[in-house]
Amino acid sequence: MEKDILSYLNRSGSGDAAGKAETIRKLAEMLSSDIVRFRYRKLDGSVRDAYGTRDPKLIAVNSEMPSGGGGSSRAGTFAYFDMEKHGWRCFRYENIIGIDEDYAI
């Protein structure tokens, strides 16, 4: 996964591609079992403070959709389940800002 992300970021001309690829890898790992707070820049330029997960148990409890729905993303994007919006969202790899490593449930 990280190699594909790094390759994409290098092609897109993203600054600090290696650092962003590592952040995405770490975020994916953390989201697999926790709710994590992280930040990214939205397409309109605003910054989003997100509380998300990829843990199927947490998604099932918080989703208004049937379990198993959503979660796919297009090339160059990262999908997560948004705990505030109760639905799937995604952002472009190059727009990751960081992870709040002190916040994990």
Residue 3: how many CB atoms within 10 A of its CB? 9
Range in 3-7, 40-44, 83-87, 94-98 the model is least confident about: 3-7
Per-residue pLDDT of 30-60, as tens digits, reads 999 999 999 999 999 999 999 999 999 999 9
Closest CA to 37 of 75, 47, 45: 47
Residue 35 has φ and ψ, to the nearest 5°, of: -95, 130
Indicate if the pLDDT at residue 13 is higher than 90.
no
Q: What is the mean pLDDT of the chain?
A: 85
Q: At which residue do the structure tokens 């796919």 appear? A: 72
- For the chain, the straight-line distance linking the first and the last C-alpha, in angstroms and rounded, comes to 25
Token code pair at residue 69: 């729905």
Q: Which helix (H) or strand (E) is 31 found in, with range?
A: helix 17-31
**What's the chain's Rg over C-alpha atoms?**
13
pLDDT at residue 104 is higher than 70: no
Report pLDDT digits (tens) over 69-83: 555 567 899 999 999
